[in-house]
Amino acid sequence: MNRIKEVLEERGIKQTWLAERLGKSFCIVNSYVCNRRQPSLEVLFEIAKILNVEPKELINNFK
């Protein structure tokens, strides 16, 4: 599970904007945001770079 949706909402960023920056379709980004599909580590790091957050902030810590 990832926290991409929460980070986008916290920052007021639209999924379409992220899709454009990643060079991926809205459908792919939406599947990441809705946790239907998990991004590869490479893509996760790219998302973190685009959102200017640490990659670990995009990952849920289950305790």
In a domain, residue 56? The reply is no
Instruction: Examine residue 43 and state whether it is found in any structural domain, yes or no.
Output: yes
| Structure confidence at residue 62 (pLDDT) | 52
**Mean pLDDT of successive 10-residue segments in the chain (63 residues)?**
94 97 98 96 97 92 55
pLDDT at residue 63, as a whole number: 47
Query: For residue 58, is it within any domain?
Result: no
CATH of the domain at 20: 1.10.260.40
Is residue 63 assigned to a domain? no
Let me know if residue 34 belongs to a domain.
yes
Domain-embedded: residue 11: yes
Entry pTM: 0.90
Find the domain containing 24 and state its range.
Answer: 4-51
What pLDDT is stored for residue 20 in this prediction? 98
C-alpha torsion 53→55→58→61, nearest 10:
-130
The total of structural domains in the chain comes to 1
How high is the pLDDT of residue 52? 96
Structural domain includes residue 57: no
Estimate to the nearest angstrom the gap between the alpha carbon of 46 and the chain centroid: 9
